Structure 1
Amino acid sequence: MSSSPHSTVSSDRYVKYRWWGLLAISLGVAIIIMDATIVSVAVPSIVEDLGISSTEIQWVQEIYTLLFAALLLTWGRIADRVGRRRIMAIGIIIFVAASVLCAVADNGAVLIAGRALQGLGGSMILPTTLALLNANFSGRERGIAFAVWGSTIGGMAAVGPLLGGWLTENASWRWAFGINIPVGALVLLGLLLFVAESSEKVSGALQRLDVVGALLSILGFGALVFGLIEGRNYGWWTATADAPFSVGGISPVPFAFAVAILVLTAFVLWERSRTAAGKGVVLDLSLFRIPSFANGNVTALIVSFGEFGLILSLPLWFQNVLGYTAFEAGLALVPLAAGSFLASGAVAGLSRRLSPIVVVRIGLGLEILAIATLALLIRPDSTGWLTSPILLVYGMGVGLATAQLTSVVLADVPLDRSGQGSATQSTARQTGSALGIAVLGTAFFTTLQLGTESRLSDALAASPSLQPLVDSVTATSGGNIASLAADPQTAFIADAARAAMTDGASLAGWIAAGALVIGLLTSLRIRTSVAAQDSVSEERTTAGE
């Protein structure tokens, strides 16, 4: 199996303006990450305006993540073949068109269709951004480029709720999607002007697209992410009232996991057989013989699990416990974004003295310290003076760990297979994120429900008619706490719910911190030989200039 890197454009202009190209690529990442979080704060306005059901709004939020994660691997491979810039540009066009569809939607079905198309476009964008950075930067500059990329992910995850809240309160929820139109146009223009095309040059049997492998990966990862996302809603084993079907009282979620295991096993066997026959594959399993790639992906999955602990629970805690508006809750997360962007500026100096994996470990250490501190100190009467410095430190950790971990994972991957490597790493991250949302979400909402009930056990025993009000706290994710607090007769329920939600956020934080500790330990298996390779690449780059 032989292949070689092929650049369709290699002019001095692309080298000269490569940092403008980095800006375009980072903006492309920004809109897909922002859209994963921006909708959450617009949900109440969407429900009020369109009158859609709870099931429809659930799919508005989740169809994006489902398709996004399921298609990453396939598009990463296709991009290697037909051109990474080309696939990213097509993805941007699809994403912007889908955003227009979402912005003009007049019913739930159209909005869900638009979100599905956004997931499709996003799955074309994310793996190609990494592959393009890998192809257009080398040595120490590559580390800086990855730092900007990683900080954009961490920062936009926090900026999304802020921008969504501001647009929803001051304009319309439709502008939460409409903002993607001008940004997408800038990304497309920047790609065409400042980013060189790169692709893989192959011949013979390797030219044939692995259609069966692509379908197996889509079905397998789609079923896995579906199970992780829907476990809390449909039941991890016993079907809930919201489950679309049940077999003998068993939820669809275990069946989804069974399908995922069977299909992904078949996918691995299929890819191995095609590799042995010298045919093209969706995922070259030989990449996992590269220690930094194999161990780095395991670490990336675990770290993504932990990093979503705060993003999941904090916006709800700010709004429903502290009484912040959607915009104020987004504003409270700004220190996280600021810390993430500050870290990208520090990477250049750190990379001169430390290897990428050491920077990753420093970042993970800061994240663990921040999350554990927050989990220990938050109270129902806490203020932004407590959370802001902690989130700043956490954001710096995210900025250091996320970007440099990407650099470590891809450092030893051959350039011609960078699309596969990028997509695999992105799939590991998305799977970890979905797992984190599933586990941390279950811990958060279970603590909210059980904690509220335990604090009100005497009142419920004396007056069972209060049970529906207590149940409504969990059903609305704490959204009705303010209305309960406004009524003197139910204010005591609101007080119990605030305390229980704080306990839930604290528990989610401790679990996230534990996951990050495991991620830090797994990072010890990654060898630091990457630093030497980067040094060689830097010397070659300097000599070439």
Structure 2
Amino acid sequence: MTDQRPATPTSPLARTESPRRRWAGLVFISVAVALIIVDSTIINVAIPSIVRDLAITSTQVQWVQESYTLVFAALLLVFGTLADRYGRRRILILGVVIFAAASVLASAAQSGDLLIGARLIQGIGGAMVLPTTLSLINANFRGRDRGIAFAIWGSTIGGMVAVGPLLGGWLTTYFSWRWAFGINVPLGVIIIIGVLVFVTESKDAGEPRRVDVVGAVLSVLTSATLVFGLIEGRSYGWWLTNKPMVIGGFTWPYEISPIPIAFAITLLAGTAFILWGLSRQRAGKTTLLAFSLFRIASFRNGNIAAMIVSLGEFGIILSLPLWLQNVLGYDALQTGFVLLALAIGSFVASGFAGAYGNRVSPETIVRVGIVLEIVGVAGLGLVITADASWLAIVPFLFVYGMGVGLATAQLTGVVLKDVPVEKSGQGSGTSSTARQIGSALGIAVLGTVLFTSVGASLDAKLADVPGLPESARTQVVDAVVDSAGAAIPALDAQSPAVATAARDAFSEGTRYSAFAAAGFLVIGLLATLRLSGTAPYRDGREPEADAGAPASVAVTPADKPV
């Protein structure tokens, strides 16, 4: 049965006229996702060149890498809601324009501060792109087609996590790190043209165009302070200040670290956000977050699982490139080629999801994917040594990539499967925020495991080096840890024994980080057991629970009993 009401370009019922045009639109939506995901990873292999060119400090190095993630996570929920009200395609295109313009500023930056500012603006554009791509897929694909579309979307994310370092390594090695940002401009132009031609606009025309400004401010404050605390805790100290925080001319003057203060603000602002939203909902006013969505079991439990899985998924991407370059001695391009195995595995997984997505329930595919991730990451932990070969690493990266491709795509579909189309922007924004918070937590926790393990192991190993005084030992440990391993190659000329100890210690830290990631993925696997199974899609229709409903609309209300 189909809906006989005419679809308009502003209606959530709108569909492209031909399936070919709809799938062509998905290509450009996926390229938009690739653009922002690549940019979050491409910087890793370009950092050494940026340090040499701009002479930036270690503090600025951290902010170049982290400012993008901070703004990105803080604004996802806001722009997901705005997309529902003002047009999903419109917000997507505006986000790509802002992202490309900021990339021009980044490529032309002549100082660390200017580069950090450009990265902050890039985060704004990225936060506009990611949730709108999800909600456009949710609005324009149904049944088995939507499962395939989500598989392609998720596999793009998994693959681009690995393609980013490869592309960045190639551009940095043969051209300049500036091209790592400059390449975003022609890609942005292609995306805008393709989206305008092939993607139909959709938005919720039924609700008034009013935005919950107070809720938006509280949401940004909650997300920003939480992500700041998770990322910077290792740097400034989780409780007491171990290094001063300097912002412009201001220096943190207290013995207590700014991190617990940030978490306290997170708690207060988050509580105020929930109370404020519930009060507006009771009054019948619009809210930034449709709190009734959490009454949907698939949405609530899926977001919990997604956050935990993201914690384990992306933390290993922080340590592996550092180990490959600083311990094994690979250059940026060689590192990218090794990580390409992850991308290949992810794209192979998309083919699997397309072939079996209508035969196996999405929840089963998610669990299989997470199991593959656990095998891949734990396997990496077993083979990582100071003299390891890429031949031992690549098979486990491939398996890990397959897991990421399966779990990321299908888990997204599970989270949004019962969300009404008119709330898809809010739903996808919440889902993306949960993933970003999980990723930030993974970077913070696994980064702490990595560098704490490296410091402790190296200090113990250097104690056995004859003739090395304690003061020199402390200097070596600080240099290796503070430089994230970049100081290791220079140690060869000073003392081969010290350099060997540093490589062994960094390998141990990377190994422990991999095992910790596998542990979090196990917890994520257990969390997916709370997801109720659904029948696989057959012949393009929705599951049996939706039988008889119009094929072009979401039939499960946000307040469905669970």
After TM superposition, is the score higher than 0.5? yes
Structure-1 residue corresponding to 2:3: none
Kept in 2: contact 1:138–1:538 (CA 8 A) = no
Q: Match for 1:283 among 281, 285, 289? A: 289
Structure-1 residue corresponding to 2:556: none
* Structure 2 counterparts to residues 431-470 of structure 1, below 5 A: 431-459=437-465, 463-466=469-472, 467-470=474-477
Kept in 1: contact 2:277–2:287 (CA 8 A) = yes
User: What displacement does 1:113 show?
Assistant: 1.5
Structure-2 residue corresponding to 1:155: 159
CA distance in 2, matches of 1:119, 1:393: 30
Please tell me whether residue 504 in structure 1 is matched to residue 495 in structure 2.
no
- Encode CA deviations 1:39-64: one digit per residue, 9 max, x unaligned: 12111211221222222222221111
Structure-1 residue corresponding to 2:543: 535
Please tell me whether residue 229 in structure 1 is matched to residue 219 in structure 2.
no
User: What displacement does 1:319 show?
Assistant: 0.7
Closer, same or farther: CA 536–241 of 1 in aligned 2, 3 Å: same
CA distance in 2, matches of 1:6, 1:288: 30
Q: Give the CA RMSD over aligned residues.
A: 2.1
Which protein has the bigger helix share? 1
Which one-letter code corresponds to 1:74 in the other structure?
V
Closer, same or farther: CA 439–543 of 1 in aligned 2, 3 Å: closer
Closer, same or farther: CA 227–97 of 1 in aligned 2, 3 Å: same
Which one-letter code corresponds to 1:210 in the other structure?
D
* Structure 2 counterparts to residues 222-261 of structure 1, below 5 A: 222-244=224-246, 245-246=251-252, 248-261=254-267
Closer, same or farther: CA 218–384 of 1 in aligned 2, 3 Å: same
Query: Please, which runs of 5 or more residues in structure 1 have no aligned partner?
Result: none
List 4+ stretches of structure 1 deviating above 6 A.
Answer: 537-544
User: What displacement does 1:460 show?
Assistant: 8.0
Structure-2 residue corresponding to 1:116: 120
Please tell me whether residue 415 in structure 1 is matched to residue 421 in structure 2.
yes
SS at 2:385 equivalent: coil
* Structure 2 counterparts to residues 305-454 of structure 1, below 5 A: 305-454=311-460
Closer, same or farther: CA 370–527 of 1 in aligned 2, 3 Å: same
User: What displacement does 1:330 show?
Assistant: 1.1
- Encode CA deviations 1:319-376: one digit per residue, 9 max, x unaligned: 1111111111111100000000110011112112101010000000101111112112
User: What displacement does 1:469 show?
Assistant: 2.4
Kept in 2: contact 1:350–1:359 (CA 8 A) = no
| TM-score normalised over the length of structure 1 | 0.95
Q: Match for 1:96 among 71, 96, 100? A: 100
SS at 1:200 equivalent: coil
Please tell me whether residue 29 in structure 1 is matched to residue 48 in structure 2.
no
CA distance in 2, matches of 1:123, 1:428: 13
Kept in 1: contact 2:80–2:428 (CA 8 A) = yes
User: What displacement does 1:7 show?
Assistant: 4.3
Which one-letter code corresponds to 2:23 in the other structure?
W
CA distance in 2, matches of 1:169, 1:198: 42
Structure-2 residue corresponding to 1:514: 519
Structure-2 residue corresponding to 1:168: 172
CA distance in 2, matches of 1:259, 1:434: 18
User: What displacement does 1:220 show?
Assistant: 0.7
* Structure 2 counterparts to residues 189-200 of structure 1, below 5 A: 189-200=193-204
Please tell me whether residue 215 in structure 1 is matched to residue 217 in structure 2.
yes
Q: Match for 1:482 among 476, 480, 489? A: 489
CA distance in 1, matches of 2:210, 2:179: 42
Structure-2 residue corresponding to 1:471: 478
Please tell me whether residue 63 in structure 1 is matched to residue 70 in structure 2.
no
- Encode CA deviations 1:222-265: one digit per residue, 9 max, x unaligned: 00000011111111112122423445411111111110011001
Which one-letter code corresponds to 1:212 in the other structure?
V
CA distance in 2, matches of 1:419, 1:343: 26
SS at 1:353 equivalent: coil
Closer, same or farther: CA 453–89 of 1 in aligned 2, 3 Å: same
CA distance in 1, matches of 2:114, 2:252: 27
CA distance in 1, matches of 2:95, 2:222: 22
Kept in 1: contact 2:465–2:498 (CA 8 A) = no
SS at 1:209 equivalent: coil
CA distance in 1, matches of 2:254, 2:178: 42
Kept in 2: contact 1:362–1:397 (CA 8 A) = yes
SS at 1:352 equivalent: coil
Kept in 1: contact 2:16–2:22 (CA 8 A) = no
Please tell me whether residue 77 in structure 1 is matched to residue 81 in structure 2.
yes
Count the aligned residue pairs: 537
Which one-letter code corresponds to 1:144 in the other structure?
I
CA distance in 2, matches of 1:335, 1:508: 20
| TM-score normalised over the length of structure 2 | 0.92
CA distance in 1, matches of 2:468, 2:86: 69
CA distance in 1, matches of 2:107, 2:274: 40
Kept in 2: contact 1:6–1:416 (CA 8 A) = no
Kept in 1: contact 2:244–2:252 (CA 8 A) = no
Q: Which is worse superposed, 161-170 or 459-468? A: 459-468
Structure-1 residue corresponding to 2:559: none
* Structure 2 counterparts to residues 131-150 of structure 1, below 5 A: 131-150=135-154
